[in-house]
Structure 1
Amino acid sequence: MAPEPSAYLQHDLRSLQRRAVAVLSLGQILGGVAFGATISLGAVLAAEISGDEAFSGLATAAVTLGTAAFAAPLAAFARRRGRRPALTTGMAVALVGVALVVVGAAASLFPLLLFAFALIGAGQASNLQSRFAATDLATAASRGRDLSIVVWATTIGAVLGPNLVGPGEALGALMGMPALTGPYLFTVAGQGLAILLYLAALRPDPLLTAQAAVAADRSGATRPIAGTDRPRVARYAIVVVAAAHGVMVSVMAMTPVHLLHHGATLTIIGVTISLHIAGMYALAPVFGILADRWGRMPTILLGQALLAASLVLAFLGQDSTVAVTVALVLLGLGWSAATVAGAALLTEASDEVRRTRRQGLSDTVMSLVGAGGAIAAGVILGWIGYGGLALVVGVGVLAAVALAPTVRSSVPQSEATPT
């Protein structure tokens, strides 16, 4: 489909960008609430319907694989039709998944339940795409900051979503819904409101407007799309984001099990994971600003340093709850720095023709690596323990650092160390 009418280019692109970031941030909050309410009971529901706790992890695995499966098609759809229809389509597919979760729970059909969770992954794919949508009209001077604001908005949804489980169960009981499905009412509400928000307020479409700006050959001072394609840099950015995600998921997924085996209470475990999530999202704008001012590569390497510090502390202090908690906070901070700067670098290293396809590929690879890391982490934990797991996943950090020198020479000075 051709870009939206060139009349859009008469608008102030900075004003359009501010509006897009605000709409995407609010949509991310709504999507986060929906996803948080969904995933909180996924493992419990899977265990109850299957009748075997060994299958409880399949719910999260299905959502993750669904996210990976939908990421690239939604990115391709965005390329052809714009961000607005792509984001709303992902949310709509997720709503179908929610309905099938209720049906699967009522009928005790475990395969249907897993298929439903995979469809819900489309909503998570839309949430991931939102951060890239925030870069469509951004300039190099603000791209990291704008992307990170949308990432930060995830904090609100991540905190609110799980806390709606209790009220959702009570509301579901009043409506005669199957046990453990009541919280999905909030999922429907959150995703439904996000769809309406995107349809009504994400206008003009940021991606189509950016495409029109390129077609009009605007000056470099305001042109939102980078013109030089650097595939080696783009590949590195994809690797960095995927590696950071794999390291984070592997350690985070096994931390509750490790702490439980060392006598920690569920309250302590909950606090540890909450602080980890805060590390992931709460300081994202700080890393976005650093990426704009210091450069993408220095911020990526800062993320690797934080990840390395986390893994070393997890290894040395694996018998201390306090040390493990601090390690999880550092883990979240390292993930945040690497993914925010890595996503900005990927956007800048891709020309307008290849950009959305690579963004979708990045989300797909990231999700697959996260799923594989979570599965492998359980095996490694049982084999060589929590400290051994921390050392093994450190390979991802070493790879990101080792590949950095070959990439830095391909990054223009204005992007490596902005003034």
Structure 2
Amino acid sequence: METPATQQLAVETDTPDRHESQRRTIGVLIAGQILGGLGMGASLSLGSLLAVQVSGSTAWSGMAATMNTLGAAAFAIPLARAAVKRGRRVSLAAGSLTSGFGAAIAIASAALSSFPALLIGLILLGAGTAVSFQARFAATDLSTPKTRGRDLSIVVWSTTIGAVSGPNLFEPGEAFGALLHLPTLTGAFAFTVAAQLLAALVFYAGLRVKPPVEGPPPGDDSGITTKPDSGFSILRRIPAARYAVTAVALSHGTMVALMSMTPVHLHDNGASLAVVGMTISLHIAGMFGLSPLFGWLSDRLGRIPVLLTGQAMLLSSLVLAWLAPHTMVTPSLILLGLGWSASIVSGSALVGDSVSAAERGPLQGVSDLLMNLTGATCGALAGPVLAAVGYSGLGTGAMALVGAVTVWTLWRLLTGRQAPAA
């Protein structure tokens, strides 16, 4: 029976097989991401409105994004370990099934008017987010450093189709839910159940080859039996890994803080579900639509220039939210999505660049864990901040996260710790 390390050596020494395996893997990941993305908009957008409806308080609206991202954090390391031990097909399929089950629980919680049950459902839904994040790393299992950004970004881009369609299923979902006598705001979650079940089937049936998510470099026989350090040990030991993981986490936290409160802000100011859905769709289009461009640029120009460009776009978004919280919400959300895309694509490539192949799997799991914990924290704080100082104040507060990434990046450049093209 072949081990992951043996499989990696076999693939690395046979270039045509490697390219064919990579092409097939990318195709399967794209199909699964499209299906999984259908539930993303509903769980993050309708989830906040459903939390208000079930709890009876706007202050709890941020718990939707919080529970979803906590779930993604909770499943990040288990799914990464499953990928190492059992292969991507098992980990991605299991995560999708768990997410579909969470959507079913969210529907039941509304019927029972049980806020704790809703929180549990949203946590399980977070497994779908963890799958989406892990899929971007799965795309790089057979990549070289020269194509890592491109391959990663193509899979990130594929989420656009499902994720942009998801929020626009709000009203059709309500009509479908009425036919099934489902509670208000839960019809779209029924679509999520079906989409996640199909995604699980695609991953399990399509990812036939076990990708080498860990193992030594080609020809390094001495490393085959060496157990890699844990992700946290790698962070303590390697400054470049620590920087890359932090940049990804804070960029994600910035996006979650503002985006998760936008549906509530719009709804409280009289916007219809159609307007809310369109705004979130444009935001998600910004998150994923240009990711191949950012991936290509990160391979050609370097990770750091693209990361700094992403921070500039995030800052521009927050400035619009601060200065024009009622008239510039849509442009702000589009810039927020673009800034997230540039930062996450380049930052995720940096995570892979910072360590050896044997350490990549554990570090990716910890990166997703910290990324989602940061998002959960920002989502939890966003609700009370919105209630206390409004949408404008929320935009101002989130600028601190952008400032932290920018200052650390410039410090690394000025001290020679990071080459501009690295």
TM bin (shorter chain): 0.7 to 0.9
Task: Indicate the residue corresponding to 1:222 in structure 2.
Answer: none
Of 230, 241, 244, which aligns to 1:234?
Answer: 241
Structure 1 residues 70 and 215: CA distance shift in structure 2, 3 A:
same
Task: Indicate the residue corresponding to 2:158 in structure 1.
Answer: 153
Please list every run of 5 or more consecutive structure 1 residues that lacks an aligned counterpart in the other structure. 219-228
Structure 1 counterpart of 2:360, which letter? R
Of stretches 40-49 and 371-380 in structure 1, the one that deviates more from structure 2 is 40-49
Distance of 2:211 and 2:297 partners within structure 1: 24
Structure 1 residues 172 and 402: CA distance shift in structure 2, 3 A:
closer
Task: Indicate the residue corresponding to 2:400 in structure 1.
Answer: 395
Distance of 1:168 and 1:267 partners within structure 2: 12
Structure 1 residues 39 and 374: CA distance shift in structure 2, 3 A:
closer
CA contact (8 A) 2:167 2:277 kept: no
**Paired-residue identity, %:** 49
Task: Indicate the residue corresponding to 2:316 in structure 1.
Answer: 309
Give aligned pairs, total. Answer: 401
Which digits, 9 at most, give the CA deviation of each residue in 1:76-108, with x for residues without a partner? 221222222111111122233234334444444
Report the alpha carbon displacement of residue 368 of structure 1 after superposing the two structures with TM. 1.8
* 1:214 matched to 2:217: yes
* 1:31 matched to 2:32: no
Of 278, 282, 296, which aligns to 1:275?
Answer: 282
Of 68, 74, 93, which aligns to 2:73?
Answer: 68
Tell me, what secondary structure is at the counterpart of 1:183?
A: helix
Mapping for residues 135-214 of structure 1, pairs under 5 Å: 135-175=140-180, 180-208=185-213, 211=215, 214=217
Task: Indicate the residue corresponding to 1:59 in structure 2.
Answer: 64
Structure 2 counterpart of 1:294, which letter? L
* 1:288 matched to 2:295: yes
Which digits, 9 at most, give the CA deviation of each residue in 1:379-406, with x for residues without a partner? 4445555444333322222211221245
Distance of 2:273 and 2:187 partners within structure 1: 23
CA contact (8 A) 1:256 1:269 kept: yes
Report the alpha carbon displacement of residue 301 of structure 1 after superposing the two structures with TM. 1.2
Task: Indicate the residue corresponding to 2:22 in structure 1.
Answer: 17
* 1:3 matched to 2:4: yes
Please list every run of 5 or more consecutive structure 2 residues that lacks an aligned counterpart in the other structure. 222-233
Task: Indicate the residue corresponding to 1:321 in structure 2.
Answer: 327
Structure 1 counterpart of 2:79, which letter? L
Report the alpha carbon displacement of residue 74 of structure 1 after superposing the two structures with TM. 1.1
Tell me, what secondary structure is at the counterpart of 1:337?
A: helix
User: What TM-score, normalized by structure 1, do the two folds share?
Assistant: 0.84
Which digits, 9 at most, give the CA deviation of each residue in 1:397-419, with x for residues without a partner? 221122124544345x6xx527x
Of stretches 344-353 and 94-103 in structure 1, the one that deviates more from structure 2 is 94-103
Mapping for residues 341-352 of structure 1, pairs under 5 Å: 341-352=346-357
Report the alpha carbon displacement of residue 330 of structure 1 after superposing the two structures with TM. 2.1
Report the alpha carbon displacement of residue 71 of structure 1 after superposing the two structures with TM. 1.0
Structure 1 residues 378 and 96: CA distance shift in structure 2, 3 A:
closer
Which digits, 9 at most, give the CA deviation of each residue in 1:305-361, with x for residues without a partner? 22223333443x326614x43333222211111111000000110222321222122
Distance of 2:11 and 2:119 partners within structure 1: 43
Task: Indicate the residue corresponding to 2:380 in structure 1.
Answer: 375
Structure 2 counterpart of 1:35, which letter? M
Tell me, what secondary structure is at the counterpart of 1:417?
A: coil
Distance of 2:271 and 2:194 partners within structure 1: 35
* 1:417 matched to 2:417: no
CA contact (8 A) 2:41 2:163 kept: yes
Report the alpha carbon displacement of residue 137 of structure 1 after superposing the two structures with TM. 1.0
Distance of 2:145 and 2:279 partners within structure 1: 36
Structure 1 residues 156 and 378: CA distance shift in structure 2, 3 A:
same
Distance of 1:373 and 1:249 partners within structure 2: 7
Tell me, what secondary structure is at the counterpart of 2:3?
A: coil
Report the alpha carbon displacement of residue 53 of structure 1 after superposing the two structures with TM. 5.3
Tell me, what secondary structure is at the counterpart of 2:347?
A: helix
Tell me, what secondary structure is at the counterpart of 1:361?
A: helix
Distance of 1:159 and 1:321 partners within structure 2: 22
Structure 1 counterpart of 2:309, which letter? L
User: What TM-score, normalized by structure 2, do the two folds share?
Assistant: 0.83
Of stretches 105-114 and 290-299 in structure 1, the one that deviates more from structure 2 is 105-114
Which digits, 9 at most, give the CA deviation of each residue in 1:147-180, with x for residues without a partner? 1111111111112223334444444454555555
Structure 1 residues 70 and 4: CA distance shift in structure 2, 3 A:
same
Structure 1 residues 268 and 169: CA distance shift in structure 2, 3 A:
closer
Tell me, what secondary structure is at the counterpart of 2:245?
A: helix
Task: Indicate the residue corresponding to 2:225 in structure 1.
Answer: none
Structure 1 residues 4 and 165: CA distance shift in structure 2, 3 A:
farther
Task: Indicate the residue corresponding to 2:228 in structure 1.
Answer: none
* 1:120 matched to 2:121: no
Structure 1 counterpart of 2:396, which letter? L
Distance of 1:91 and 1:262 partners within structure 2: 35
Tell me, what secondary structure is at the counterpart of 1:214?
A: coil
